[in-house]
Amino acid sequence: MVQHVTLWKQASQVNGLFQLFHSLKKDCILNQLKQNLLSPPNCTFTNIRNVHRQSKIPQGLVYLSRSNDVFSNLAFEDWVHDNLCLTHTNILFLWRNKPSVVIGRHQNPWSECNIQKLVDNDIQLARRRSGGGTVYHDLGNLNCTFFTDRSQYNRRHNLELMVAALRARWPSIQVSISNRDDLLLDNFYKISGTSAKLGHSVAYHHFTLMMSVNLQRLREALHVDMIGLDSKATESIRSSVRNLCDVDSSVNYDDVISSLAREYYSIHQPQEEPKIYTVDPTDEKTWPGITDMKEKLKMWKWVFGKSPRFSVERTQGELSVLIHTYQGRIEGTVVRAPSGVLDVNDVEDLAGAMKGVRFWSSDIEQNLKSFLKSNTTTTKNQETLQTIAHLIRSSAKG
C-alpha cells in the first residue's frame, strides 16, 4: 500500500472510528439548523480551490473498504445513508469488488446481462439502491461514493474532483465530463458510469472508474441476446469503453486512490488526519444492523423480484409461447397454436402449473418435469406439450 493509505491496527482504532461516526450523529443534532454549501454547480477546475477559501466547506473523511464483496460494500453505502447525519462532515468511500454485475434499482437483469454467463463464470449479480444503468466490476475498477447532506449534493463537483486528481498525476490523459455526467476518455470512450440516491437528509453520488478492467469478461457478462423480451424497465445506454491503463500503463490502483484522497482533502479540511482510513463493512459491532442489510441485498426478491413486469415470447413453427413475469415469477403463460393441435384443458393445466414459479431455469425445469410426468393426454398432445415445454425453458435462458 502507498504511504497515504494507513491500515487500522486493531480494536482501539476501530473503536475510534465508531466514536467518530457517533460524533457525526451528535454534531448533527446540535447543529441541525446550520447548512454548509458545497461549491456551486458551475464550479470549474480553475476556481475550485477559490470556492473552498470563500465559503464554509464541510470537513472530510476518506474511507477505503477492506472487503471486495459487492454485497458488503453496497450494504455499507446503505448503512451510512440510513444512519449518519452529514451536515458538517462529508465522506468519500472507496471500494473495489471481485467480478460482479451491478444493476440499477429499476432495471431488469434479464434484459441487462447474460445471466447464464454470470452463473458459469461465478460472477455475482447485485441490485443497488440507486438508479442508473448496469455496470461491471472487478479489481481493475474503482468505485467512488461521495456522501453529503442532501443540501450539499453536487455530482458535477465530485466528477470535477476526480478529473483534477487524474490530471494532477497523469497530465497527458485526456478525461472529460459528458452531459450525462459520465467520465470520457479522449471525449469518446466511457470510463465511468454514474448514479445517485437522494434521501431525506443524506445523499450519495457514486461512480465507477475503469483502470484495468477485464474487457473481455465485461463484454461477455453484459452481452444480452434475449430475443422476444418486452420490458418497461430502465434500460442501460450501451457505450464504447476503454481502460485508463490502455492510454498510460503507469495508471494503477494505489496511485489513483492517493491522488484522489489528496485532491479531496485539498477541498475538505480533514476531520482527523489527512489520510485514508480502511474500514471493514462486515463489522456488525461497528455498524449495527449491517449484516441484515447485506442479507436483504442478496435475496431473490430484491435482486430479481424487484424487476418491473416483462414478457418473453418464443416461437417454433406454428407454435408460440408468451410468458408474463412479475416480481421475478411467472404470472401467466399464453400458448398460441393452430386449431385442433392442442387440447384446451392441457393448455390451462400447463398454465396453472407454471403460475408463481420463479423465472429461473432450474425452477422451470423442475415444474415442467412434474407436469409432463403427471399429464395423461394422448401421445400426439404429449409431443406438442414437449415442444411447448422446450420453448418455456428457453425463455429463461436467454
Query: DSSP characters for 356-395?
Result: T-BSSHHHHHHHHHHHHHH----HHHHHHHHHHHHHHHHH
Burial of 257 (0-12, 13-18, 19+ CB in 10 A): buried
Per 3-state DSSP, what percentage of the chain is helix, strand, and coil (rounded to 5)? 40, 25, 40
Assess contact for 221 and 113: CB atoms under 8 A: yes
Q: Residue 159 phi/psi, 5° resolution?
A: -65, -40
Residues of the chain with pLDDT > 70: what percent? 85
CA distance 63 to 242: 27
- Full-model pTM: 0.85
Amino acid at 268: H
pLDDT tens per residue, range 342-351: 888 888 999 9
Return the SS3 of 107: coil
Domains annotated on the chain, with CATH:
5-299 (3.30.930.10), 310-397 (3.30.390.50)
Q: Residue 385 phi/psi, 5° resolution?
A: -65, -35
Q: What local confidence, expressed as pLDDT, does residue 20 receive?
A: 53
Amino acid at 232: K
Q: What local confidence, expressed as pLDDT, does residue 1 receive?
A: 38
Assess contact for 73 and 11: CB atoms under 8 A: no
Amino acid at 128: R
Mean of the per-residue pLDDT values of the chain: 86
CA distance 368 to 197: 41
Q: What local confidence, expressed as pLDDT, does residue 24 receive?
A: 56
CA distance 271 to 163: 24
Q: What local confidence, expressed as pLDDT, does residue 343 receive?
A: 84
Most confidently predicted of 18-27, 69-78, 222-231? 69-78
Tell which phi-psi region holds residue 6, choosing left (phi > 0), alpha (psi between -120 and 50) or beta: beta
